Chain A
Amino acid sequence: MTPGAGAPGGPRATAAAVARDSRDGFASGRLAAPGGRGAAVRRQAGMAARGAAPFAVLVAAWAAASAARLVPELFLPAPAAVAGVAWTMAVDGSLWVNILASLGRLLVGIVVSVPLAVGLGVLVGLNRPLARVLEPVAGFFNALSGIAWLPLAVTWLGLGWASVTFIMANTIFFLVFFNTLVGVRTVPRIFEQAVRTMGGRRRHVILQVLVPGAMPSIVTGIRMSIGFGWRALIAAEMIATSTGLGFLIFNASNFHQTDTIVAGIATIGVLWLLTDRLVLQPLERRTIERWGLVSSS
């Protein structure tokens, strides 16, 4: 069976299939088996089931441990109790209010920081000496990013959503800026020069060489920064505001409401999983496959 021929979608899908399959065993270089659309859908469903099965086992073990009274109810409530609380919160709306608060802050942080960071990064990256000087500075602020800014943010903006969103935006900005700088800097000079010799102007160089060349770095930076930012957000919500998932679980701990806490933790985890799986990973895969090396994750 020739590699590209049978798999649906051509070489790009094949590469994606290799990326997916390479985590399936000791790296064996297996390619996606051919078989048409139906087989692909069945395979997707199979993979989803395989992904969900461990969680089912975990929840079952948890339920069994709770039923057998191996763990005190206060320490770890039974799955049924957690599900019950989650349902109650979903019905009376408090769950959605908090989810929207957290996700809203995440979105604002992304929408404000990413364009700014990429734009500035490309601008600075155009000037190589300047980029070389600013890179360590960006690296330093990168190391500083996140929750360490909270006291300063509270001093300037007071308690509330402004500080929390500031921290998120800050975390995302510095990481994406740094990655953009590095990405632009590592685009081989020869591509730039090739476009120039063909009569391209500055904007051609930017749009057709630098940005695509830096894309893998930029997108990786975006994905990582949202990961760091989400964590910083949850921590900041615990300390500095009264809405959001972080606040929900921290507040519940004051009343020893462990079922609410576990429900909140599960929500946080699921939200991140969804964001990563449905938005970030496809984005990364598509840009990296187009302009960079295939990444397997």
Chain B
Amino acid sequence: MLRHRTVVFLLVVAALWVGWEAFLAVTAPRRLDAAVAAALEREPLVSIAVTLGFPPEDFHIRIFQTHGVVSGVRGTTVLLNRVSAADVHRIARYYWVRRISPQ
């Protein structure tokens, strides 16, 4: 009985985690503007404007600083320069990002 509790709990946690990662992977492309995808094919580093659903906090700025150079914040949008393709896709996976568009 006791082992059942542990096993069920771990299975539920694993299932939730896998489901969540799948959700992130599926919804990521929707956030990316076609223009940005096109720009990525031309240049290795792009400048993007990341729109959130809320004014960014220190937490978000620090995360963006690991993906590129933060050049400004306009309301709910963060301007990022020198972002590589890999970093753009990583940003697209964040569920709290609304949209990634060219600057």
User: Are A and B in direct contact (Cβ within 8 Å)?
Assistant: no
Q: Taking beta carbons and an 8 Å cutoff, which residues of B are in contact with A?
A: none
A interface residues (Cβ-Cβ under 8 A, vs B): none
